[in-house]
A and B are shown apart, each in its own frame.
Chain A
Amino acid sequence: MSDVSDLVLDARGLVKHFPITQGIVFRSKVGEVRAVDGVDLQLRRGETLGVVGESGCGKSTLAKLLVGLEKPTAGEIMVRGEDMTRLSGHALRRARRNIQMVMQDPYTSLNPRMTVGDIIGEPFAIHPDAVPRSGRERAVQELLDLVGLNPDHINRYPHQFSGGQRQRIGIARALALRPEIIVCDEPVSALDVSIQAQVINLLERLQRELGLSYVFIAHDLSVVRHISDRVAVMYLGKIVETGYHMAIYEQPTHPYTQALLSAVPVPDPRLRGHRDHIVLEGDVPSPANPPSGCRFRTRCWKAQPYCADHEPLLQIRQRAPHPSACHYAEVRDLLHRH
């Protein structure tokens, strides 16, 4: 098992609250959206941590905190022994080189008026010391080649590429500064099934060849299982269960993880009618006003009065062999025939 020195990223107590304001001239704060509300996260060298959860649970906000695009309300992000949240100016820019991001939408995340060469080379302009000016075109062509695009297409524009190819451009840009860590926010969600596999395989090959660590955010639990070593399940700004992929998928203990897994259709008609289905009532509550105690209690079929005033901590429990934030956590298999 890997030891602490393998840690490339160690985030503790991450919180991001967005103020809800009222009025235009005299803006007064009337509340806050608790998008991320106390998240710990560790990432080891060469490892992929998958983060799953439903829309609005705080996945993208977490991603932005990790790459320094948002400043946390509280918490620390240790990368190479430095707390990124305390850095500024030159030191912050240096630290950020090491942790890059790939975004969901290959259609809007690339500037349509820039050539592919300029897009992929942009990080070199921001960090002029990374590659000398004379070597930049070469470097961009190498990156294009690395992600499986034709290096001769360096002067083309994004609209001349397909969705999958645009996502490769986004990946090439993220790789430009030779980071150790890449945070991927729904990198294949907008792609077609046949193209998804191409991009997933590319990410896996790059990880093997370059020793990258990934935080892989997605709402598709099948894709996350395929690519992840460990998985964290988020609900309303908090991680409710985390562990190795086998633990999360084969032995889920949190009622929310169990409901999620039971809702995902499996492409095998023989399982029809042989799997347990847990149907959750209603929608996710607003993160501006999360329920007291356990945040999942308004949709939880196991909720007890105790859950309303005691917040469950994310920890190993008597019937939960890996960390689970439920007072009544207990293993239940939801993927296989019953």
Chain B
Amino acid sequence: MTPVTDIKAQMDVLPGLDPRAPLLHVDDLRVEFRTRDGVAKAVNGATFYLNAGETLAILGESGCGKSVTAQAVMGILDSPPGHVTGGRVLYRGVDLLKLGEKDRRKVRANRIAMIFQDALSALNPVYTVGFQLAELFRKHRGMSRASSKLRSIELLDQVRIPAAKDRINDYPHQFSGGMRQRVMIAMALALDPEVLIADEPTTALDVTVQAQIMGLLAELQHQRNMGLILITHDMGVVADVADRISVMYAGKIVEEAPVYDIYARPAHPYTKALLESIPRLDHKGRQLNVIRGLPPSLTDIPSGCSFHPRCGYAREICRGDQPPPSYQIAPHRIASCHFIREVLGV
């Protein structure tokens, strides 16, 4: 069903592309927003990688910089006021931040795609769903009107829109919330990207619909051996689908680990506190553990470890000038904290 990705065609569009290089490697990414109220440091040295066929969850509370990170990777940052001030976004060895807008657009359409929380604002309200899909095939694949229509129907079928043949003539507002999310997934997958970034794709949906959409995403990812970055604040969804997790706090990845390890034995005080603060479905717990205070203002991030005003383990060293180093505690496990041993209880 899915056409085999044509490596040669990719090489043509992206000079320097190395098919053997890691799929995506974001290295020390920094993003600032320069506004009248000051400089908001939304992303402060975020580092993570993604392999083909793998699901990486980026977990964090609202405002910690998840969406801005995704926008910077995609090259769709609201700029100004947003500016990438440092770091690299390596896709198969090519630093996307160094590409011109024309090449970035090609990568965006063909290689790295994104879906958003709010499907209605991501789709164009004045064109039918069929037109918007077919347009992609005509523009990027040079397909004829007839065959792009056929391919659109096929794709809507794949994301399980019932009676896709009739529904391609409908406008986005004529679909329910869950159906619109499916249409957006179809658009994102139309050109067979290798990386899909899903930014809170089910946050606005009911749980039964969320389950349908997450199941669909997992299935499509598997079929296509796609790399999936799932951005979310929901620790339940993450436990169900992720292979690895990167926990974000104040624009930094503070802990990175395989999914089983992080739930069994979190290494960073923030991860640990988050896990202890959520109510459980499968038993009625005791009083919830509270993380005191609020996430920091990004125009005024605390010195040293940015979590220190809220951290139960914090000591003098955490308040100093230097952020805590990142320690490798096991293969694929990294945490940035001075007192990892204490947190792990070793």
Contact = CB atoms under 8 A, between A and B. Distances in A.
A48 B288 CA distance: 17
Contacts of B206: 54-55, 219, 284
A108 interface: no
B281 A249 contact: yes
Nearest to A256: B208
Interface in A241-282: 245-246, 249, 259-272, 277, 279-280
A335 interface: yes
B215 to A, nearest CB: 7
Contact of A194 (B179, B207, B263, B273): B273
A260 B287 CA distance: 25
Given A55-B206, A193-B235, A260-B208, A266 B281 contact: yes
Prevailing SS type, chain A contact patch: helix
A70 interface: no
B284 A266 contact: no
Nearest to B258: A269
Interface string A168-210: 0000000000000000000000001111111011001000000
B320 interface: no
23 contacts: A54-B206, A192-B295, A194-B273, A194-B291, A196-B277, A198-B290, A200-B279, A201-B287, A201-B290, A219-B206, A219-B207, A225-B281, A225-B284, A226-B279, A263-B211, A265-B240, A267-B239, A267-B275, A270-B260, A271-B239, A279-B215, A335-B282, A336-B282
A79 interface: no
A131 interface: no
A262 B240 CA distance: 12
Contacts of A219: 206-207
Nearest to B277: A197
Contact of B263 (A196, A200, A267, A283): A267
A265 B61 contact: no
A221 interface: yes
Contacts of A149: none
A280 B281 CA distance: 19
B237 interface: yes
A308 interface: no
B239 A265 contact: yes
A193 B281 contact: no
Interface residues on B, range: 35 or more
A197 B290 contact: yes
A54 B207 contact: yes
B170 to A, nearest CB: 15
A223 interface: yes
Contacts of B176: 283
A181 B282 CA distance: 28
Contacts of B273: 194
A267 B291 contact: no
Top 4 A-B pairs, shortest CB-CB distance: A265-B236, A226-B279, A263-B211, A194-B291
A266 B291 CA distance: 21
Contacts of B208: 54, 259-260, 263, 279-280
A269 B62 contact: no
Contacts of B210: 263
A193 B294 CA distance: 11
A55 B290 CA distance: 28
A118 B260 CA distance: 50
A148 to B, nearest CB: 11
A142 to B, nearest CB: 23
A222 interface: yes
A246 B182 CA distance: 36
B15 interface: no
Contact of B207 (A225, A263, A269, A283): A263
A269 B291 contact: no
B85 interface: no
Given A193-B235, A221-B281, A269 B263 contact: yes
B173 interface: no
A279 B280 contact: no
B38 interface: no
A231 B216 CA distance: 31
B280 A222 contact: yes
Given A162-B294, A267-B275, A279-B215, A261 B281 contact: yes
A164 interface: yes
Given A55-B206, A270-B260, A279-B212, A194 B235 contact: no
Given A198-B290, A267-B263, A269-B259, 4 more contacts: A226-B285, A263-B207, A267-B238, A267-B275
Nearest to A280: B208
Contacts of A201: 287-288, 290
Contacts of B62: 192
A80 B110 CA distance: 66
A221 B206 CA distance: 11
Interface in B222-236: 233-236
Nearest to A52: B207
A272 B240 contact: yes
A28 B212 CA distance: 39
A225 B281 CA distance: 7
B294 A264 contact: no
Contact of B281 (A227, A270, A335): A335
Contacts of A279: 208, 211-212, 215
Contacts of B239: 265-269, 271-272
A274 to B, nearest CB: 11
Nearest to A273: B240
B209 A283 contact: yes
